[in-house]
Amino acid sequence: MTFIYFPLAHMVWGKGGWFNWASGGRMPVLDFAGGTVVAYQFGSFGPGLRLFSRTPGWLSAGTDAPHSVVLSLIGTGLLWVGWFGFNAGSALGSNELATRAFAATHFSAAAAALSWGATEWYLKGKPSVLVWLGDGAGLATITPASGFVSVPAAVLIGFSCRFSLLLSRHETKDKA
């Protein structure tokens, strides 16, 4: 928290921060609902966790399937509904900005789930019910932009969530 979250929060939101749009930062960015700081934080958390894990390879061991598919789908549905309140609620009012954030959130999550299904179809020959877990990637990816993008742009952002995995798996197949 001290070495990752606080410096990033200052760079994006703090007065004189590198990325602070309001204070004329060096590389200004638009950040809706605080998604930039959180996404960068968790983007650095994964490699950090891997570096400090006691058992090498424990993150990559095993299967991609969750322990309980039913509980995973219930949790994903609750996450999707709750995210509407988070993104649209960040507009601090019932206005056009909230509507734009709400629509972008929904369509990005749906596009991410469809992208996940297309990837599974390509890699495994058929999609499974687990494609709905892909909406979480669409939710996290759209958050920093949800108040600023149109629905077609949100769909493209959602589709792009799983595209990198498809490319990495495709490269692996070619090398084998």
53-79, pLDDT tens digit by residue? 655 554 454 455 677 888 988 988 898
Mean pLDDT along residues 100-118: 91
User: Quick check: is 62 in a domain?
Assistant: no
81 and 26 share a domain? no
In this prediction, residue 49 carries a pLDDT of: 65
Q: Is the pTM of this model over 0.75?
A: no
157 and 82 share a domain? yes
Could you tell me the residue range of the domain that residue 157 belongs to? 69-175
Mean pLDDT along residues 4-32: 73
User: Quick check: is 64 in a domain?
Assistant: no
Is the pLDDT at 175 greater than 70, yes or no?
Answer: no
User: Quick check: is 131 in a domain?
Assistant: yes
Task: Please give the residue that has the higher pLDDT: either 174 or 75.
Answer: 75
Distances (CA, A) of 23 to 17, 34, 37, 114: 7, 16, 17, 39
83 and 167 share a domain? yes
User: Quick check: is 63 in a domain?
Assistant: no
User: Quick check: is 100 in a domain?
Assistant: yes
Burial class (CB in 10 A: 0-12, 13-18, 19+), 147: buried
User: Quick check: is 115 in a domain?
Assistant: yes
78 and 123 share a domain? yes
Closest to 120 (Cα-Cα) out of 154, 66, 74, 162: 162
Count other Cβ atoms within 10 Å, centred on residue 106: 23
75 and 36 share a domain? no
Mean pLDDT along residues 147-162: 89
User: Quick check: is 58 in a domain?
Assistant: no
80 and 22 share a domain? no
- Predicted confidence (pLDDT) per residue in 120-145, tens digit: 888 788 888 887 877 888 888 888 88
74 and 45 share a domain? no
User: Quick check: is 60 in a domain?
Assistant: no
Report the number of distinct structural domains present in the chain: 2
